[in-house]
Amino acid sequence: MSASAYAVLAEGVVKRYKGRKEKGGGKRALDGFDLAVRPGTVHGLLGPNGAGKTTAVRVLATLLRYDAGRAEVAGIDVAREPRRVRSRIGLTGQYAAVDEGLTGRQNLEMFGRLFHLGNRRARQRAGELLDRFDLTEAADKAAKEYSGGMRRRLDLASSMILQPDVLFLDEPTTGLDPRGRGEVWEAVRALVAGGTTVLLTTQYLDEADRLASHITVIDRGRAIADDTPDALKNRVGGDRIEVVAADPGDLEAVAWAVDRVAGGGLVVTDTPARRVHAQVADRVAALTEVARSLQGDGIAVEDIGLRRPSLDDVFLRLTGHGTTENHDAPEVAA
Amino acid sequence: MTTLERNPATTGVRRPGNGSDPGPGPDRGHRHAYWAVVDCWNITRRTLTHYQRQPAAILWQLGFPILSLLLYGYVFGSAMMVPGGGDYREFLMPGMFAMTMAMGFMNTAVAVVTDASKGVVDRFRSMPMVPSAFASGRGAADLVVSAAELTILAVTALLIGWRADGGLMGALGAFGLLLLLRFSLIWVGVWLGLLVPTPEAAGGLYAVAFPLTMISSTFVSPSLMPDWLGFVAAWNPISSTATATRELFGNPVAGGGTWVEEHAVLMAVVWPLVITLVFLPLAVRRFQRLSR
Strand partners of residue A92: A169
Q: Tell me, what's the pLDDT at B18?
A: 43
Given CB atoms, is A306 within the 8 Å cutoff of chain B? no
Q: Is A91 in contact with B19 (Cβ distance < 8 A)?
A: no
Q: Tell me, what's the pLDDT at B220?
A: 86
* Distance between CA atoms of residues B156 and A222, nearest Å: 63
Cβ within 8 Å of residue A112, ≥6 positions away: A121, A122, A123, A125, A126, A161
* Distance between CA atoms of residues A309 and A247, nearest Å: 26
Cβ within 8 Å of residue B218, ≥6 positions away: B95, B96, B98, B99, B238, B239, B242
Residue B84 inside a domain? The answer is yes
Residue B95 inside a domain? The answer is yes
Residue B22 inside a domain? The answer is no
Could you say which residues from 270 to 289 on chain B have a Cβ atom under 8 Å away from some Cβ of chain A?
289
Where b means 16+ CB within 10 Å and e means fewer, A14-48 reads bbbbeeeeeeeeeebbbbebebbbebbbbbbbbbb
One DSSP character per residue, A281-300 reads: SSHHHHHHHHHHHHHHTT--
* Distance between CA atoms of residues B243 and B73, nearest Å: 18
If one compares A4 and B15, the residue with the highest pLDDT of the two is A4
* Type of residue at A225: A
What count of CB pairs under 8 Å joins A to B?
142
CB A236 within 8 A of CB A243: no
Q: Cβ contacts (< 8 Å) between A39 and chain B: which residues?
A: 3-4
Q: Tell me, what's the pLDDT at B123?
A: 92
If one compares A20 and A29, the residue with the highest pLDDT of the two is A29
Query: Average pLDDT, whole number, for chain A?
Result: 86
| pLDDT for B4 beyond 60 | no
Q: Tell me, what's the pLDDT at A269?
A: 86
| pLDDT for B10 beyond 60 | no
Q: Tell me, what's the pLDDT at A96?
A: 67
Q: Cβ contacts (< 8 Å) between B8 and chain A: which residues?
A: none
Instruction: For residue B288, give the 3-state DSSP assignment.
Output: helix
A102, A185, B148, B156, B250 from B165: Cα distances, Å:
42, 67, 22, 17, 5
Q: Cβ contacts (< 8 Å) between A128 and chain B: which residues?
A: 12
Instruction: Pick B1's closest partner by Cβ from A3, A93, A106.
Output: A3
Where b means 16+ CB within 10 Å and e means fewer, A271-298 reads eeebbbbbbbeebeebbebbeebbeeee
Q: Tell me, what's the pLDDT at B122?
A: 92
Could you say which residues from 1 to 20 on chain B have a Cβ atom under 8 Å away from some Cβ of chain A?
1-4, 6-7, 10-13, 15-16, 18-20
Which of A222, A218, A228, A261 has its CA nearest to residue A242?
A261
* Distance between CA atoms of residues B22 and A83, nearest Å: 7
Residue B73 inside a domain? The answer is yes
Instruction: For residue A218, give the 3-state DSSP assignment.
Output: strand
CB A75 within 8 A of CB A8: no
A80, A125, A152, B238, B291 from B125: Cα distances, Å:
16, 21, 19, 34, 9
Residue B107 inside a domain? The answer is yes
Q: Cβ contacts (< 8 Å) between A5 and chain B: which residues?
A: 3
pLDDT band at A263 (very low <50, low <70, confident <90, very high): confident
The pLDDT tens digits of the residues spanning A92-132 come to 877 768 999 999 999 999 999 999 999 999 999 999 999 98
A8, A60, A73, B171 from B4: Cα distances, Å:
11, 17, 11, 61
Q: Tell me, what's the pLDDT at A262?
A: 81
Min Cα separation A265/chain B (Å)? 46
Q: Tell me, what's the pLDDT at B1?
A: 36
Q: Cβ contacts (< 8 Å) between B31 and chain A: which residues?
A: none
Name the residue in chain A with its Cα closest to that of B120: A97
Residue B16 inside a domain? The answer is no
The domain containing residue B60 runs over which residues? 54-289
Residue B230 inside a domain? The answer is yes
Domain tally, chain B: 1
* Distance between CA atoms of residues B123 and A97, nearest Å: 7
pTM: 0.81
Query: Average pLDDT, whole number, for chain B?
Result: 85
Given CB atoms, is A3 within the 8 Å cutoff of chain B? yes
Q: Is A100 in contact with B38 (Cβ distance < 8 A)?
A: no
* Type of residue at A98: V
Q: Tell me, what's the pLDDT at A325?
A: 38
CB B216 within 8 A of CB B226: no
Residue B162 inside a domain? The answer is yes
Please return the burial class of A9, using the count of CB atoms within 10 Å of its CB with bins 0-12, 13-18 and 19+. Answer: buried
Please return the burial class of B67, using the count of CB atoms within 10 Å of its CB with bins 0-12, 13-18 and 19+. Answer: exposed
Given CB atoms, is A5 within the 8 Å cutoff of chain B? yes
Given CB atoms, is A116 within the 8 Å cutoff of chain B? yes
Instruction: For residue A136, give the 3-state DSSP assignment.
Output: coil
Given CB atoms, is A80 within the 8 Å cutoff of chain B? no
How far is the first Cα of chain B from the last one, in angstroms, to the nearest whole number? Answer: 30
% of chain A beyond a pLDDT of 90: 47
Could you say which residues from 159 to 188 on chain A have a Cβ atom under 8 Å away from some Cβ of chain B?
160-163, 165
